Amino acid sequence: MKKVKTVVIGGGIVGAGIFRDLALHGVETILIEKKDFSSQTSERSSKMLHGGIRYLENMDFALVFEALHEKNLWLKLTPHLAREVPFYLPVFKDAKRPLWMIHIGMYLYDFLSSFKNSPFQMKNASEVEAALPDLKKVGLNGAGVYYDGVMDDAKITLEVIYDALKENCACAMNYTEVLTVKKLNGKNILKCINTITKEIFEIIADQVIYALGPFTDRFLQTISMYHWEPILLPSKGSHLWISAIDLPLQSPIVMTPKNEKGKNDDRVIFVIPHGDQVLVGTTEVAFEGDYFDVRPSASEIQYLLDALNDYFPNLKLGEDKILSSFAGIRPLVRDGSANGSDRGKTSREHKIYQPMSDTYVIAGGKYTTFRIMGQDITRDICHKYGLPYNEQKSALPLRQVSTILPFEWTLPTRDDLIRICETEKPKTFEDLIRRRLSISSKKVWSQRVPGKDFNQFFLEHLLLLNKYITVTEEDIINCI
């Protein structure tokens, strides 16, 4: 049985941010995650640190202001994981938003950043054709170019957790499922199970924080004492990874696809180069299935390919060009407005609930604003323990850098594998491959490491890996 002041349940970016903030303030805290840290929604984003330029149409000026300033902070704090790049927003003759409107929106975007963004530009058609030679030319009027950040979402989450663990008061437990939560003598009693060893144990906590993302409603409704009513409007977003060889692109572009009637469908798809791969996404559809480890549907994949082929008609991109794909569930919070069921127009503001005085629930928000989303919670908990709260502590640099970095990916050496296993705490072979080595499929491996078979490489290191994690030949063959 473990006793602790605070438990944070949910090891995505929001839970990680709250965990770090509490640890930096000296509050004894345990972080609990059912699977690997950052293995669900927080590694299934569009891989952007951004203000959300499309939220300007919803008049979410405060959110955009906050997100832009956080984006620019994290670009400085994690330059090895995030970079500012120009995003092209092409405008065609039949566009819903003409160039003059794009010009105004981009000026407002830079203004809300306190002009800390690299300044936007307006390009004519010939300039756009020179920068994006494979983009369709029919009806092209020009483009607006604004600046946002691209990033490795899983690794930022992991490095936030690593930084918290530098504090003696912090403990993080992945592959730990909370089975029940009860009250006894004014304390929260959490019955947990280690999903790998099957050990069952209890944690006694003064305070409990739920940062469960899309799993919020489904979990809290299993705890009868909370009398929880659903608050989320779950939205499934799917993405594709395409080889940069098949989709040669120097800068990200923003696509505004059309529906079957030829009209703009008010959705946005980003096409973002990441070294040897290009990320394409996202979709935005209702979803009611199992939220863990969701996959793109055939219709979502086709939707993204159709949009790509509309914008890049000469590249003829089919399913055979897909290196890998992924999907996640966004935890949008119902806003009660007339657009309350419109996932594209639902606000990305976060909300905090307190079903009990010692229990906090945080939901909604954007990845980019994770640092400040939970500050009201951490401030309140610090004050309960008579500790001064300093919101700038969490703006300090992170103290542990990942071994394998996204923008300078290299084949891991034996020493790299040892360092990862000892300092980055993978528990399974999948943790090592997907989140520590950033390999999403064997197609990606073959592109990055031509002539060296994936299975052979890791079978050669099988004995080494088994000193740290349990790995079988079958795990290696079937992992990705």
Read off the tokens for 27. Answer: 């509050």
Over residues 96-122, the mean pLDDT reads 97
- pLDDT interval class at 1 (50, 70, 90): confident
**C-alpha distances out from residue 193 to 198, 201, 334, Å:** 6, 6, 32
pLDDT digits (tens, 9 = 90+) for 371-413: 999 999 999 999 999 999 999 999 999 999 999 999 989 999 9
Statement: residue 261 has pLDDT above 80: no
225's CB contacts (< 8 A; 6+ apart) are 181, 182, 183, 356
Residues 337, 342, 343, CA angle at the centre, nearest 5°?
Answer: 115
Q: Are strands 200-210 and 359-364 parallel, antiparallel or unpaired?
A: parallel
Statement: residue 226 has pLDDT above 70: yes
* Alpha helix positions (H), 83-186: 99-112, 125-131, 153-164
pLDDT digits (tens, 9 = 90+) for 40-87: 999 999 999 999 999 998 899 999 999 999 999 999 999 999 999 999
Read off the tokens for 200. Answer: 């069952």
What is the CB neighbour count within 10 angstroms for residue 77? 17
pLDDT digits (tens, 9 = 90+) for 385-396: 999 999 999 999
Contact, 24 vs 167, CB < 8 A? yes
Over residues 218-242, the mean pLDDT reads 96
pLDDT number for residue 266: 74
pLDDT number for residue 182: 97
pLDDT number for residue 441: 96
pLDDT digits (tens, 9 = 90+) for 283-310: 999 988 899 999 999 999 999 999 999 9
The SS3 of residue 22 is: helix
DSSP string across 182-219: EEETTEEEEEEEETTT--EEEEEEEEEEE--GGGHHHH
* Rg of the chain (C-alpha set): 23
Statement: residue 128 has pLDDT above 50: yes
Over residues 188-194, the mean pLDDT reads 98
Nearest to 67 by CA among 348, 473, 464, 409: 348
The rounded Cα 435 to chain-centroid distance in angstroms is 12
pLDDT number for residue 263: 63
Residue 121 dihedral angles phi and psi, to the nearest 5° = -140, 155
Contact, 130 vs 88, CB < 8 A? no
pLDDT number for residue 343: 53
pLDDT number for residue 267: 85
266's CB contacts (< 8 A; 6+ apart) are 344
Statement: residue 140 has pLDDT above 70: yes
pLDDT number for residue 345: 55
**C-alpha distances out from residue 394 to 79, 154, 211, Å:** 17, 18, 18
CATH fit for domain 2-42+154-231+343-395, picks 3.40.50.2000, 3.40.50.300, 3.50.50.60, 3.40.50.10540 = 3.50.50.60
What is the CB neighbour count within 10 angstroms for residue 31? 29
Contact, 67 vs 41, CB < 8 A? no
Among 150-154, 184-188, 335-339, the minimum mean pLDDT is found in 335-339
pLDDT number for residue 359: 98
Domain boundaries, the chain: 2-42+154-231+343-395, 82-149+234-333, 414-478
The span from the CA of 292 to the CA of 282, in Å, is 18
Residue 132 dihedral angles phi and psi, to the nearest 5° = -130, 75
pLDDT number for residue 84: 98
pLDDT number for residue 341: 52
The mean of the pLDDT values for the chain is: 94
Statement: residue 337 has pLDDT above 60: no
The span from the CA of 356 to the CA of 207, in Å, is 10
Host H or E run for residue 338: none
pLDDT number for residue 336: 59
pLDDT number for residue 480: 85
Over residues 440-461, the mean pLDDT reads 95
Statement: residue 276 has pLDDT above 70: yes
Statement: residue 22 has pLDDT above 60: yes
Residue type, 353: Y
Q: Are strands 2-9 and 200-210 parallel, antiparallel or unpaired?
A: parallel
What is the CB neighbour count within 10 angstroms for residue 290? 9
Over residues 4-27, the mean pLDDT reads 98
The SS3 of residue 336 is: coil
- What's domain 82-149+234-333's architecture? 2-Layer Sandwich (3.30)
- pLDDT interval class at 346 (50, 70, 90): low
Statement: residue 216 has pLDDT above 80: yes
Statement: residue 104 has pLDDT above 80: yes
Residue carrying the six token digits 């939970």: 374
Statement: residue 338 has pLDDT above 50: no
pTM: 0.95
